[in-house]
Amino acid sequence: MIEAEMNEENSTMSSSPTASIRKTWRLVPLLASVFLSLGLLAGCQSSMGPMNWTSGYRQVAVANPQPSGAVAGSQSVTIPNLCQTQPDDTGLVSLPPGCANDLNLQLMVANPQDLTRGQEMGPAQAAPVANAARERLNDRERASERRAMLENEARSAMGNTATTNGL
């Protein structure tokens, strides 16, 4: 009996146009989520391919042309690894991504040798930090003691006649 009612209900639902619209609207969120996820995945694909962010610097010896009669020498120059590219077919050398950042950093450092080999770290500076913390805590304790002493002096000086004007 129940099966007959369900079959009858299904046949009436399938024949009515509102039933097919309801079924279609049930699929809309599913289809929207599928298309949205496909769109997001397609946005991850880049035509440029993976970027090479291998930064760093190296020292290169360059010839130092001298005026006539002087002995030619050489000097060492620090060059970012990302900026060492070959010219293209037209003879233009373009800056690859990251080269300008490395050049700016190179111009900002105080000692260019630090780019190829950093300085040795000194001992930890824990003593000044510990002294500052100790002084801060001791000053807080002294301030609390001084405040309590002043409050006691004020109470004893006023006696029982002191009022706070209703506070």
- Parse the chain into domains and list their residue ranges: 2-33, 127-156
Task: Give the pLDDT of residue 108.
Answer: 92
Give dist(CA 142, CA 27) in Å, integer: 74
Task: Give the pLDDT of residue 148.
Answer: 92
Task: Give the pLDDT of residue 58.
Answer: 84
Residue ranges, the chain, pLDDT below 70: 1-17, 43-54, 65-74, 159-167
Task: Note whether 136 and 143 are within 8 A (CB).
Answer: no
Task: Give the pLDDT of residue 116.
Answer: 84
Task: Give the pLDDT of residue 84.
Answer: 77
- pLDDT tens across 124-146, in order? 788 888 888 888 888 888 888 88
What tokens were used for 22?
A: 């309801």
The CB-side HSE value for 64 (13 A sphere, CA atoms) comes to: 10
